[in-house]
């Protein structure tokens, strides 16, 4: 590939290495050592000149000639060499000392990068003297503890509300069926109203099931771990959406690809794949297209789903994985679905050590990429 032309007269600017705090501490230690060494050397020379003089008297003369000792140049050379050697040693020593002082800070940064909503139980727990770095680490641990309690309370609330609402919803459905099944002619308005209420009850049931799934996923890594072929789950999800695909006359290009084995909960992973495929069908246009495929990249399995649809801006895409948010709509009642589809996909992917990436197509539609760790390493060229 040819290199892009460069403008004449412009020079490439070399980027200097980042000045880390460890480097600054080492250089500060070196600077203080060199400065103090130079002062000591200057004082030594001054004292040498004041106390190492000799007076030479010529024979038969009453006066004398004062001369300095010839050892002064040799002293200056030896002191300069010693100062240079110790300056180099001071840099290495300062580098090691800075590492010891900054080790707790590095531990805090490493833990902060690894923390997510499903791993708030982790702590730094630094052991050592009760100094400033340990106080900072303990403060960070206390913050994690407060966040963990807050997240756990939110999850329990969502799960409890979902469970508690199931009973009244079931009761409403029963009484609706009883009222519709009474002997005698039932007014058409009542039948239409009953059908509409049943549709809303079905929607609420789906919403509660989604809330329970989201709450369960956010509690941490699933316990029912098993090895599953990602490709087979995709094929099942496409088959389950066959009716909706046919109704919207969508053209589906399904590349079976490798099986891509992954480890996790069969219930949650199946729900994740189903939500991705259902999202591509539901938010499409009549006569549109869908491309679905699985692939293996290194130690990761990827599910890639592209679909046609409405044009999306980067701001729209940033809202898609947030609960109860849609582009141009604040709540779930303003559109199809529950508003939790991609939120559940993101939560399940992260609970299994993966991630969700969303990208808008320039001509409309969306690309959804779910990345998960492979259950086993697959050699290059192996169909898996």
pLDDT tens over the chain, length 384 residues: 444 444 444 444 455 455 676 677 777 777 777 787 777 777 776 766 655 555 555 555 555 555 555 566 776 777 777 778 777 777 777 787 777 777 778 777 887 777 765 567 778 777 777 777 788 888 888 888 888 888 777 777 777 777 777 788 888 888 888 877 777 777 778 788 888 888 888 877 777 777 777 777 766 666 668 899 999 999 999 999 999 999 999 999 998 778 889 998 888 899 899 999 999 999 999 999 999 999 999 899 999 999 999 999 888 898 888 876 666 554 444 455 566 788 889 888 988 889 999 999 999 999 999 999 998 644 444 445
Q: What is the DSSP code (8-state) at residue 333? A: G
3-state secondary structure of 329: strand
Residue whose pair of structure tokens reads 């770095």 in the numeric block: 133
The string of DSSP codes covering 213-230 is HHHHHTTSS-SS-EEEEH
How many other β-carbons are positioned within 10 Å of the β-carbon of residue 109?
11
For residue 82, what pLDDT is reported? 74
Choose among 50, 38, 32: nearest CA to 76: 38
H helix or E strand, kind and range, residue 74: helix 72-114
Neighbours of 104 (CB within 10 A): 20
DSSP at 327: T
* Pick from 86, 87, 51, 56: nearest CA to 71: 51
Q: What pLDDT does 300 receive?
A: 93
The tokens describing 206, both together, are 């789906």
Please give the full DSSP string across 93-161, using - where no structure is assigned: HHHHHHHHHHHHHHHHHHHHHH--TT-TT------S-SSHHHHHHHHHHHHHHHHHHHHHHHHHHHHHH
Q: Which fold has domain 226-373?
A: Heat Shock Protein 90 (3.30.565)
Write down the architecture of domain 145-217 according to CATH: Orthogonal Bundle (1.10)
Two structure tokens written together for 137: 């680490």
Q: Please report where in the chains the tokens 């407060």 appear, as a residue.
A: 146
Confirm whether 145-217 and 226-373 share one CATH topology: no
Domain residue spans in the chain? 145-217, 226-373
Torsion angle (degrees, nearest 10) of CA 247, 248, 252, 256:
-50
Rg (CA), the chain: 36
Regarding pTM above 0.85, the answer is no
């Amino acid at each position: 590939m040819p290199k892009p032309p460069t403008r004449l007269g412009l020079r490439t600017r070399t980027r200097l290495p980042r000045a880390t705090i460890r480097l600054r501490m080492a250089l500060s230690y070196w600077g203080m050592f060199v400065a103090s060494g130079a002062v000591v050397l200057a004082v030594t020379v001054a004292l040498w000149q004041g106390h190492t003089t000799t007076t030479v008297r010529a024979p038969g003369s009453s006066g004398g000639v004062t001369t300095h000792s010839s050892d002064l140049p040799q002293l200056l050379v030896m002191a300069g060499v010693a100062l240079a050697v110790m300056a180099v040693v001071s840099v290495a020593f300062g580098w090691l000392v800075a590492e010891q002082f900054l080790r707790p800070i590095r531990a805090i940064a490493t833990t902060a990068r690894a923390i997510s909503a499903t791993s708030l139980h982790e702590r730094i727990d630094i052991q050592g003297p009760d100094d400033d770095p340990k106080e900072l680490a303990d403060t960070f641990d206390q913050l994690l503890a407060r966040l963990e309690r807050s997240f756990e309370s939110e999850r329990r609330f969502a799960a409890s509300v979902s469970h508690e609402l199931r009973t009244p919803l079931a009761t409403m459905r029963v009484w609706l069926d009883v009222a519709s099944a009474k002997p005698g002619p039932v007014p058409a308005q009542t039948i239409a109203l009953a059908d509409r209420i049943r549709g809303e009850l079905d929607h609420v049931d789906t919403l509660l099931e989604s809330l329970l799934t989201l709450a369960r996923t956010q509690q941490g890594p699933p316990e029912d771990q098993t090895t599953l072929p990602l490709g087979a789950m995709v094929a099942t999800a496409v088959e389950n959406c066959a009716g909706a695909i046919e109704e919207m006359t969508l053209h589906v290009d399904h590349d079976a690809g490798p099986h891509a084995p992954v480890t996790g909960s069969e219930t949650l992973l199946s729900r994740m794949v189903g939500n991705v495929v259902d999202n591509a069908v539901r938010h499409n246009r009549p006569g549109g297209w869908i491309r679905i495929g699985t692939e293996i990249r290194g130690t990761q399995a990827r599910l890639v789903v592209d679909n046609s649809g409405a044009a999306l801006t980067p701001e729209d895409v940033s809202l898609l994985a947030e609960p109860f948010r849609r582009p141009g709509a604040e709540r779930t009642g303003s559109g199809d679905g529950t508003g939790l589809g991609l939120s559940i996909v993101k939560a399940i992917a992260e609970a299994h050590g993966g991630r969700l990436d969303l990208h808008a197509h320039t001509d409309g539609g969306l690309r959804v990429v779910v990345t998960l760790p492979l259950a086993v390493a697959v050699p290059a060229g192996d169909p898996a």
